[in-house]
Homo-oligomer: A and B are copies of this chain.
Amino acid sequence: MDKTEVLIVGGSAAGLPAGITTRRQYPKARITLIRKEKQALIPCGIPYIFGTVGTPDKNLLPDALLQKNNIELSIDEVTSIDKSNKTLATLSGKTWGYDKLILATGSLPLVPKIPGVNLKNVFAAKKDVDYLKGLSAELEVALQGAKSVVVIGGGFIGVEFADEFRKRGLDVTIVEMLPHCLQLVYEEEFSLIAEKKLADRGIKLKLDSSVESILGTEKVEGVRLRSGEVLKADLVFLAIGVSANTKLAADAGLRLGPQQSVWVDEYMRTSDENIFAIGDCAEKASYFTKKPLGLKLASIATREARIAGANLFQLRRKNDGNVGTFMSSIGDSAIGAVGLTERAAREAGYEPVIGNAAAPDKHPGSMPNAMEMKVKLVFDKPTGVLLGGQVVGGLTCGEVMNILATMIQKRMATSEIATFQLGTHPTLTCSPIAYQIINAAEDAEVKRSS
């Protein structure tokens, strides 16, 4: 048996920063990270392998970060945990002892139970280099042939893959069960803008549509919708969501939560105080309602890693729940959502008041490459506190979402945002007079008092 002080299972967006944080907070600890994959992929970069980056090899988490932080790496698969003896066993036959264990086992793509789902050329976003190389190779073949791809699921992952496939010149159709793409995060008016941008790029949308079966003999040939319509397809991509990878935790007798993920407290401890769980495998709660929340994002995983890594031997950081900051791009446009939508605010018991503003993201608007940025902010009417925001515009939207995320976490209200000190520049931002966040706050403040 080999004994380490901190043992981390999983080496992606949760496991790696957990190791780095542990090293920062506990400089002398022996830290060991076990992961299955010879090479670890950057999870959010996966959609961009196909059209933008070119190959999975250019989308790897650098192992140099492990060496730099003196974290031992073992490529192996954990098969069981014995929490009473604080040991675990691996596929290679090894036994590891630990003082503290961090589970960062991630999630697996959901595979719908429909006929044909096991046909050749049905893919999903598996975090596996060889698997993605296979998808890449089949894309090359499809590009020689009829070039049709059907993406099942119109959430962020589906939209991103569709956009990348389209960049390669494929004929792409998204099939979404709900009335709109991105509907779980966006309000209708923003979903409509995103759908327009997808359509402008030549991506076809089948909304309010379910897939009955995937057609083909050996390889995929098409997709049949419930409506009876048949779509031609050389390749099908599944993007209907992911589920927490909890097998190891459940087998060890750790408690699962209502979202069928590993239950954790606000310090990221599981039901066993020496075992922490972080990232996609761990249960999440809402910042606003403290109720269970089905979010799985790399940014959340790394935050949980920074909390768990600091708490291993002393409780130093708390998780106050998830605001939820989403962002994505369609061509040169970007879209983002943070916190509560108007509808979600109402459902959570708030009385929402809305502030809207739109203006170019450079100034004057005649600057080259200036794009309209539209902002909708949701405030709590009685207190004026910011609850959420939705943004569509150009490529600076990403950091604009992070301004809003900060304002939400600091519970800033309409008047404080209206007089918030910001910087502006012709080549970098909207003008100070038209700055969208400020004007949306002013708009809402007037509505609050009326």
Interface residues on A, range: 35 or more
Residue of B nearest to A441 (CB): B306
User: Please, how many angstroms separate the alpha-carbon atoms of A65 and B421 in the complex?
Assistant: 22
Query: Closest CB of chain B to A277's CB: distance in Å?
Result: 17
Contact present for B442 and A21 (CB under 8 Å): yes
Contact present for A421 and B52 (CB under 8 Å): no
Query: Closest CB of chain B to A372's CB: distance in Å?
Result: 15
Residue A403 interfacial (CB < 8 Å): yes
User: Please, how many angstroms separate the alpha-carbon atoms of A192 and B400 in the complex?
Assistant: 28
Kindly name the residue among A310, A336, A399 whose own CB sees the greatest number of chain B CB atoms within 10 A: A399
User: Please, how many angstroms separate the alpha-carbon atoms of A364 and B49 in the complex?
Assistant: 10
Contact present for A52 and B367 (CB under 8 Å): yes
Residue A425 interfacial (CB < 8 Å): yes
Q: A367-B48, A399-B399 are in contact. Are A322 and B426 (CB under 8 A)?
A: no
Contact present for B428 and A395 (CB under 8 Å): yes
Contact present for B426 and A45 (CB under 8 Å): yes
Copy total for this chain: 2
Q: Mark A302-327, 1 if CB is under 8 A from B, else 0.
A: 11001100100000110100110111
Residue of B nearest to A424 (CB): B299
Partner of A432, one of B13, B53, B60, B367: B13
User: Please, how many angstroms separate the alpha-carbon atoms of A420 and B303 in the complex?
Assistant: 7
Complex contacts, A432 vs chain B, CB 8 Å:
13, 17, 44, 298-299, 301-303
Which A residues, 356 to 384, have Cβ-Cβ distances below 8 Å to chain B? 363-364, 366-368
For the A-B complex with A48-B426, A409-B420 known, give 6 more contacts whose Cβ atoms are closer than 8 Å: A42-B363, A52-B367, A298-B424, A299-B423, A306-B418, A406-B406
User: Please, how many angstroms separate the alpha-carbon atoms of A446 and B317 in the complex?
Assistant: 14
Complex contacts, A442 vs chain B, CB 8 Å:
21, 24, 306
User: Please, how many angstroms separate the alpha-carbon atoms of A306 and B213 in the complex?
Assistant: 59
Q: A61-B433, A415-B317 are in contact. Are A52 and B368 (CB under 8 A)?
A: yes
Contact present for A306 and B419 (CB under 8 Å): yes
Q: A306-B418, A323-B421, A442-B21 are in contact. Are A426 and B44 (CB under 8 A)?
A: yes
Partner of A401, one of B17, B45, B368, B423: B423
Residue A225 interfacial (CB < 8 Å): no
Residue of B nearest to A302 (CB): B432
Between A and B, 14 residue pairs with Cβ closer than 8 Å are A21-B442, A25-B446, A44-B363, A48-B367, A61-B433, A326-B423, A327-B425, A329-B427, A398-B424, A398-B425, A399-B402, A399-B428, A401-B423, A402-B422
